[in-house]
Amino acid sequence: MKEPTKKNGLGTIASRRRKAVRVKAKSRRSESSRQWLQRHLNDPYVAAAQTDGYRSRAAYKLLQLDEQFRLLKPNMRVIDLGAAPGGWTQVVAKKIGNKNSKLVALDILPMAAVPDVDILCMDFTADDAPKKLKKLIGGQADLVLSDLAPNTTGHSNTDHIRIMALAEMAALFAVDVLAPGGTFVCKFFQGGAQKEVLDLLKRHFTKTKHAKPAASRAESSETYLVAQGFRR
CB 117 within 8 A of CB 137: no
Mean pLDDT of successive 10-residue segments in the chain (232 residues)?
49 54 58 56 84 95 97 97 97 93 96 96 92 92 93 72 88 96 91 79 96 89 94 88
Active site residue 187: yes
Cα-Cα end-to-end distance for the chain: 38
Residue type, 71: L
At 1 the pLDDT is: 61
Residue closest to 118 by CA, chosen among 157, 87, 160, 83:
83
Domain residue ranges in the chain: 14-52, 59-230
CA distances for 137 relative to 116, 119, 126, 155, angstroms: 12, 12, 17, 38
For residues 47 and 51, give the distance between their C-alpha atoms in angstroms, rounded to a whole number. Answer: 6
Catalytic site residue from 19, 187, 207, 212: 187
Burial of 180 (0-12, 13-18, 19+ CB in 10 A): exposed
DSSP string, 103-118: EEEEESS-----TT-E
At 41 the pLDDT is: 63
> What beta strand segments (E) does the chain contain?
77-81, 102-107, 118-121, 141-146, 178-189, 205-211, 222-230
CATH of 59-230, one of 3.40.50.150, 3.40.50.720, 3.40.605.10, 3.30.930.10: 3.40.50.150
pTM for the structure as a whole: 0.84
At 5 the pLDDT is: 43
Residue closest to 59 by CA, chosen among 85, 96, 77, 98:
85
